Structure 1
Amino acid sequence: MEQILTYFVQYALACWETFVEMAPYICLGFLTAGILHIFVTPHTITRYLGKGRIKSVIYAAFIGIPLPLCSCGVVPAAAGLKKQGANTGAAMSFLIATPETGVDSLAVTYALLDPIMTIFRPIAAFLTAITAGIAENFLGRSYQDLPIETPIDRTCKVDGCCNGENCEPEVHRRHHTLGEKLYAGLRYGFGEILDDIAKWLLIGVAIAGVITVVIPENLLKTYLYGGVHSMLLMLVIGIPFYICATASTPIAAALILKGVSPGAALVFLLAGPATNAATISVVYGMFRQRTTAIYLGSIAICSVLLGLLLDRLYIWLNIPASAIVGSAAEILPYWLSITAAIFLLGLLLKSLLVPWYRRYTHQDHKHCDEHSCSCSH
């Protein structure tokens, strides 16, 4: 019993230390995500994705990389782009680039991993996305240049006060103050975006804690020290596994500290967020068999090749990845990290508990109505 208690304390401390390291950076990521949502117009997102086998794919990857959407959340967004005139290759590029990175996940990558991975990760996502998109536009059967004819949703993002259709663009841009827009961005970043990933973020930290405390270091060093076999094994683990880019980062950090090669960890960071069983089935339903094969094949081939390249980069620089993982977090004072962790934990608990409480109280109301009893809820 005492040994179990010791393991539990070690596990809780490992989870808390990981959470403290990442909290300030993920808060910065949520802030940036909210600002992007408010100030980047839908017209900007859609106008460049309809024409050009290559140009549209590159634009889609650039647009997708900073957006904080998970692999399931990005599917309706990609479908919306397709309906608004984006060609299939551009939609696929967006579908891959967006969940593999995001301003929130890049901030956490800097906190928990190192500057090399922080730079290499979005580059790898960009290359994977444009490879898949260009392959689709040249090898698929569905490419055609399409004018954007579907009306774009120009509804005011601040408070929905107008639909943007009967509002002059100049007026539409100026009928809210900068303060109102920033407040709306904060609500979106620390509200809707946080709600989308709250559960998966905590699951990612929990899995990282298990890897840190339970899994023997020699076990992972034996099988995932580097090479093609390590990349393929991480690919098998990552493709069906549902996890967002932010939540996958603490897991990757824990793996590297246990001796896993940075290239193998990169494969997990690329394949895990971009794919899962649910997303694959939706992609098949949207684009059918050939496009789904290009989608999975591009992710698999690019992830493995880029993982091997990253391992060679660390060897060339003569830097052991496990020695510098988490070093960026030391830049911030500890009191700031603790404050951010407490603040973020409060928001995460609110995000998880409030919906549960509402369902619970709703069921209580329903129970009272069915039995015609008097209650004071």
Structure 2
Amino acid sequence: MVLLVALLAQSYLVDLFDVAALRTGSTVFVAVVVQALPFLVLGVLLSGAIMAFLPAERLRRLLPRHPGLAIPVAGLAGAALPGCECASVPVARRLMQNQVAPAVALAFLLASPAINPVVLVTAVAFPGRPEMVLARFGGSLTTAVVTGWLWQRFGRVEWIAERALSRLSGPVGGSRWRVFTETARHDLVEAGGFLVIGGLASAVLNVVVPQTWLGTLGGNLALGVLVMAVLAVVLALCSEADAFVAASLSAIPLVPRLVFLVVGPAVDLKLIALQAGTFGRQFALRFAPLTFLVAIGCAVAVGLPLLGSGR
């Protein structure tokens, strides 16, 4: 019925929507989605294969006993056990229930959505700038490790809700191929939806935000870093889609855009709500500001030597 109405009212709709801003926005949206989708499919297939043949339950047995050493190992394990921000929260909870130190589980929580294969293949959003992939990997991994060490030093168990630490019966598993297909299907559906949202956000930002504003951010590195960090929290994009939004803001230097890519998977509005529901409000009120500040600092520290101040 929608298609029939569109065909019958074609001339009217063309006149109605023949606006320069809509043409620009639709072009940006289609370009983002078409460019990203093949790499997203490749990433979720790799994600499903890793999840099927290297399940999260093996992580606990591979971790060093000393938490200070286990934290960077858990951070690196985020690349081998991929998942989005929302998926990493229940995995971190399960690790805590399996007697993994909270700081170690939190390091994995921060690293998994930021350095997994699905995210790293979004390097296609920055053609000719492979250093952006290295900078995002380094900034995100450093954020996870530093936050884990700080929580190990200053965090308290009583800040985490009891329900997050009580042991539960493990999920019923299936064959490896079933795990592979279900993981790939789930990740593709979820990440694909967020990719569409990211494409829409990119199109809207390109059309709505005046270029003079972007020029102001481009001329002030500190202001650009702060604005992009807050934007990452507010937009709450999935880590599989945020690179294409950042790439579309070409008037802003690379370092603020790197801050956007590092902060987003670590702390945003949906993550704060999910962490408060899973680990308790006391935890979220302390962990979110800590992660926000550490992510900004690590992104700038890694980005300046690798990216400089250029675009």
Task: Give yes or no for the alignment of 1:299 onto 2:265.
Answer: no
CA RMSD of aligned residues (A): 2.8
Partner residue of 2:138 out of 120, 123, 134:
123
Task: Give yes or no for the alignment of 1:140 onto 2:158.
Answer: no
Partner residue of 1:196 out of 185, 190, 199:
190
1:92-127: CA deviation from partner (whole Å, max 9, x where unpaired): 101111222321111012444531111111111110
Partner residue of 1:100 out of 104, 110, 114:
114
**1:84 offset after TM fit, Å?**
1.0
* Structure 2 match to 1:52: 66
Larger radius of gyration: 1
* Structure 1 match to 2:200: 206
1:175-199: CA deviation from partner (whole Å, max 9, x where unpaired): xxxxxx3x7624531x111122232
* Structure 2 match to 1:250: 244
SS state of the match for residue 308, structure 2?
helix
* Structure 2 match to 1:276: 268
Residue type at the aligned position of 1:155? G
TM-score, length-normalised on structure 2? 0.81
Residue type at the aligned position of 2:269? A
Residue type at the aligned position of 2:241? A
TM-score, length-normalised on structure 1? 0.68
Call closer, same or farther: CA 1:202–1:218 in 2, change over 3 Å.
same
Gaps of 5+ in 1: 144-148, 159-180, 322-377
Task: Give yes or no for the alignment of 1:73 onto 2:91.
Answer: no
* Structure 2 match to 1:237: 231
1:106-161: CA deviation from partner (whole Å, max 9, x where unpaired): 10124445311111111111100010111111112339xxxxx9876573343xxx
SS state of the match for residue 260, structure 1?
coil
Partner residue of 1:21 out of 14, 19, 35:
35
Partner residue of 1:218 out of 202, 212, 216:
212
Bigger drift between 239-248 and 27-36 goes to 239-248
Distance in structure 2 (CA, Å) of the matches to 1:222 and 1:127: 29
8 Å CA contact retained: 2:262, 2:299? no
Residue type at the aligned position of 1:302? A
8 Å CA contact retained: 2:106, 2:148? yes
Residue type at the aligned position of 1:306? A
* Structure 1 match to 2:5: none
* Structure 1 match to 2:162: none
Call closer, same or farther: CA 1:137–1:244 in 2, change over 3 Å.
same
* Structure 1 match to 2:44: 30
8 Å CA contact retained: 1:22, 1:108? yes
Distance in structure 2 (CA, Å) of the matches to 1:131 and 1:60: 12
Residue type at the aligned position of 2:191? I
Residue type at the aligned position of 2:209? I
Distance in structure 1 (CA, Å) of the matches to 2:222 and 2:290: 16
Gaps of 5+ in 2: 1-14, 159-166
Distance in structure 2 (CA, Å) of the matches to 1:117 and 1:42: 28
Distance in structure 2 (CA, Å) of the matches to 1:207 and 1:101: 22
